[in-house]
Structure 1
Amino acid sequence: MKVAVLGSGAMGCLFGAAFHRAGADVTLVDVNAEHVGAINTRGLEVDLRSGAETLPIRAALPHEVTEPVDLVLVFTKTFHTKAALEGIAAAIGDDTHLLSLQNGLGNDRRLAGFVSDERVMVGASMLPSDLVGPGRIRSHGEGYSRLYPAFGGDPAMAQRAADLLTQGGLETVLDPKIHEGIWSKAIFNATMNPLCALTRRTPGFLGANAESRATILAAVAEGVAAAHANGVMLDGQPIYDLTEVSMTDHADHEPSMLQDLNAKRRTEVDAINGAIVTAAKEAGVEAPVLETLWHLVKLEETKLAN
């Protein structure tokens, strides 16, 4: 399988490495020329709990991708999706499938403008990964991923992708209820990401303070209510459980929103908190804690711009 990973930061490299281990022909695509150059010069350095390795994976800038691939795995920021896919138009052929493992809600429709609906897949992964330098990532937590065709249909390609990822060391399963999984991840991210970003601390700090724990409980409850109001009847307990795992097993992991604010970059809070709050209100439900976290992160973004 020929795979292009579009947006090869911490998570993109983690998944690209798994596809590579399983024998796929992988190209890591990113706009960060220093990162791309480092991977091409010395390989992708991957630091896992099981040990460190250096993998000889090809990396490329978007304009260097000139041939169609079987699968484009999309890991860009949600607000870059359209421009990023347009930038690798040569990679998207008549049989190319697109798979989004991005944060937030609505990614299926963002991909649907580029290929037919039956070639759009979506997924959710709760694995942690940090970009520690050009060409270097670290993932010291456990987790698994799930995926499925976004709009139903033949899951054969999704099964091929899941099998390769599992073979490459990242357990991945097919989940016909994938939209419940996407909502669950969005609720988790809408809770933990803003709190880490606003306090400038990792999840371990949140676990050590009663104030943050109370906010976590309230935020998850609001997210679950919003999902239910939108007909997504997910179970909230696994989300609560995952926040505990985050505060213990992933205590030192820097969530993406924290990384973004530290790097003075725009966050994905609109596609995460904003999308949940908007969906809640459209269904007649309020989500005041999630909305407050959304607004506070937007204020932090405004500070960075001044």
Structure 2
Amino acid sequence: MKFTVLGAGAMGYRYGVLLQEAGNEVEFVDTWKPNVEKVRQQGGVLVSRDHQNTRLVPVKMFYPEEYQGNPDVWVVFTKQMQLADFLKRTAHCFNEQQYVLTCMNGMGHVEKLLQHFKPEKLLAGTALVATVLNGPGNVDFIGARGAGTMNLANYTEKPDETTHKIVAELKKAQFNPNLTTNYRGTLLAKVVFNSVVNTLCTLFEITMGEFAGYPGADQLSRQLIDEAYDVCERAGIQMLNTRQQELDSVNYVSKVANPLHYPSMYQDMSHDRPTEVDYINGYLVELGRKYHYEAKTHAFLTHLVHLAEHTRQQNLQQAAAKTESSPVVEAEA
């Protein structure tokens, strides 16, 4: 099959490279100029696994406006706040025969994708796998080959022949896909997971393993999971996991699968980029309010993340102002 990846970040590279190595034709479209130009300069993307064995993987990279491809499937991995503009810039290549697959963090992306793709062509899911973008054209796959799992579902909850072909290619690429017919429950499982691990690790600048090693971690996780499940139950969403299974998933990924990993929200915060907390904890807060339920802990954490973002930006501005106002001292020859 032919796949085109929209968003050549950490996860976009992981899906694209592994699908390519499984025998598919893959192309990449990205808007970040340093990334596009670096890939073109070096003739591909540098790929490491667990910080070792760096190799150059040849890939085809394009800006949205110049892309003219016609893939069978679009694989979408952008940040939530960037998606609408990205889709608008690439829309000249979309048509009614194409499928779209996304495993983005948070909620809100599906509604944007449905403005460009037919509901029966949309597959959405979640990916429990760690990947780090070291810099432009340089990515690190965390975990052994075949590590991690993913869940996905058709928006219509009616898998067709092409859906099964896509799943087969994902299996070849060792993403361990689990096809469900529970669309909302599939997406919310990752939102709940991220609302615990991503947010807390980001606020305290710790790895997933460091969080799990705290004696009170289970209590923190349970409080957030219980509140999120209370929201979902009021919204009539049938979750994939029980509350205990969700806690077990948090612990397994944090303690066994990826204990040394900093979640993507932390990576955004540490690079002074906006986080997706409004699409994760904030989404649960807004969903709860639709059903007259206040997810107070998630609301509190959403504010804390925004406070941390605000503080970092103030510190950057103060540092920049201090640098500009510092007198220039010239040394004598």
Q: TM-score range by the shorter chain?
A: over 0.9
Match of 2:278 in 1: 270
Match of 2:117 in 1: 115
Matches within 5 A, 1:67-106: 67-106=69-108
Which stretches in structure 2 are left out of the alignment for 5+ residues?
315-333
- The percent of aligned pairs where both chains have the same amino acid is 26
- 2:28 & 2:243 partners in 1: Cα distance? 35
Match of 2:68 in 1: 66
- 2:49 & 2:249 partners in 1: Cα distance? 20
Q: Is residue 144 of structure 1 aligned with residue 149 of structure 2? A: yes
SS of the residue 1:151 aligns to: coil
SS of the residue 2:88 aligns to: helix
Match of 1:11 in 2: 11
Match of 1:164 in 2: 169
Match of 1:25 in 2: 25
Matches within 5 A, 1:118-267: 118-141=120-143, 142-234=147-239, 235-249=242-256, 250-267=258-275
TM-score, normalisation: structure 1: 0.93
SS of the residue 2:56 aligns to: strand
Match of 1:280 in 2: 288
* Cα pair 1:158 1:174 within 8 Å, conserved: no
- 1:16 & 1:288 partners in 2: Cα distance? 39
SS of the residue 1:210 aligns to: coil
* Cα pair 2:101 2:123 within 8 Å, conserved: yes
C-alpha distance 265-284 of structure 1, shift in aligned 2 (>3 A): same
Task: Give 1:107 deviation, angstroms.
Answer: 2.6
Deviations 1:69-94 (A, max 9, x none): 22111111112211111111132123
- Give, as a single letter, the amino acid of the residue that structure 2 aligns with 1:195: L
Task: Give 1:154 deviation, angstroms.
Answer: 4.4
- 2:156 & 2:199 partners in 1: Cα distance? 30
* Cα pair 1:189 1:272 within 8 Å, conserved: yes
Q: Which stretch of structure 1 is more off in the superposition, 239-248 or 133-142?
A: 133-142
- 1:218 & 1:84 partners in 2: Cα distance? 36
Task: Give 1:152 deviation, angstroms.
Answer: 3.1
* Cα pair 1:4 1:26 within 8 Å, conserved: yes
- 1:273 & 1:152 partners in 2: Cα distance? 25
* Cα pair 2:157 2:182 within 8 Å, conserved: no
SS of the residue 2:280 aligns to: helix
Task: Give 1:52 deviation, angstroms.
Answer: 5.4
- 2:97 & 2:139 partners in 1: Cα distance? 31
- 1:304 & 1:51 partners in 2: Cα distance? 35
Which stretches in structure 1 are left out of the alignment for 5+ residues?
none
* Cα pair 1:108 1:121 within 8 Å, conserved: no
Q: Is residue 303 of structure 1 aligned with residue 311 of structure 2? A: yes
C-alpha distance 285-61 of structure 1, shift in aligned 2 (>3 A): same
TM-score, normalisation: structure 2: 0.86
- 1:53 & 1:179 partners in 2: Cα distance? 38
